[in-house]
Amino acid sequence: MKHIFAFVWVAVVCFAGLGTPAAAQHAPKQHPPIIDMHLHALPAKGWPGGPSFICPGMEFAAFDPRGKWDPDHIWATCPNPLVAPASDEELLREILAVMDRHNIVLAATSGSLEHVRRYRQAAPNGILPGLNTAVANLGTPDSLRELIRTGEIAILGEIGPQIEGISPDDEMLEPYLALAEELDIPLAIHVLSFQPYYLFPQNRATLNNPLLLERMLVRHPKLRVYVMHAGWPMLNEMMSLLFVYPQVHVDVAGIDWLLPRKEFHRYLRGLVEAGFGKRILFGSDAAMWPQVIGIGIEAIESADFLSEAQKRDLHYNNAARFLRLDEKGQLQNKPR
């Protein structure tokens, strides 16, 4: 299960509630609702071999291959590093506090079954369960079918076969894609050229090309797919896929706080101005660092090229339509 941490390059610790006046804590409830399509339920110390902190929006340092790889080198000059909470309990408490603070009414949440269960027990109405695991650990199609039938899994993903060196169009994924199509649950697939080769030796930039999803889309025309991280930085390829396959959506998780803000806005603007404002979903990719949720929300709020209506689409309306929520904002087939 170590691989699951490979997907998590995005998040911040929210100290909401600590030293905040009670009135201020309740004020954000006035904010309109938000859906986070990309949350992770992981252990607080869940990233063996990964950086000990993250640094939203910073430039990425050069690496001299004569030296020994140090996962912290990427943000070596970070002025305000974010570190994970000390315990799983504290992490969950902070995640829920941030959700409450920003009025996040639903979060597509993936991790191991065990951790997703913990999150659902703590917030039964706010957590839409997904499965974040290595391809080899997806189980048999029959065992996965049972998890979907019993409501343990409502979204297939985040899966990120590329990080394991497996192409998204590899035949080994076929039975799982067919199952997601048959049972009509969304596929959430990681497409992002970021995870460094030194940290994830099987990862390949070439496997993170959005056009590698084309074969699955042709084979499974009813499959509801959202491309996590919007395929950054392959904007042209992402737009090609969105044009040809109008059922495809993207989330902007991770890139909304990980990248320098100007680059995130350039990429987002490219998608919106090409006409895909109805196909973009907000996501945080928060895992061990709850504060990144707020940074990601603000990254959309601060985009001066978006109208207020477009911001609402990204923060809520597009996901509600993609998930087929009813007029009360409830799932029509709620996981048990």
CB 158 within 8 Å of CB 130: yes
Give the CB-nearest residue to Zn ion: 190
Shortest distance (Å) from residue 8 CB to Zn ion: 7
Residue closer to Zn ion (CB basis): 193 or 247 = 193
Residue closer to Zn ion (CB basis): 163 or 297 = 163
Which residues ranging from 59 to 88 are in contact with Zn ion (CB under 5 A)?
A: none
Which of 3, 4, 5, 7 binds Zn ion (CB under 5 A)? It is: 7
23 C-beta neighbours (distance < 10 Å), count: 7
Asked if 47 interacts with Zn ion (CB under 5 A), we say no
Which residues ranging from 181 to 220 are in contact with Zn ion (CB under 5 A)?
A: 190
Shortest distance (Å) from residue 331 CB to Zn ion: 23
How many of the chain's residues bind Zn ion (CB under 5 A)?
3
Residue closer to Zn ion (CB basis): 43 or 317 = 43
Q: CA–CA separation, 153 vs 131, rounded Å?
A: 7
Shortest distance (Å) from residue 38 CB to Zn ion: 7
Residue closer to Zn ion (CB basis): 7 or 75 = 7
Residue closer to Zn ion (CB basis): 103 or 202 = 202
- Strand-pairing partners, residue 280, are 250
Binding residues (CB under 5 A) for Zn ion: these are 7, 190, 228
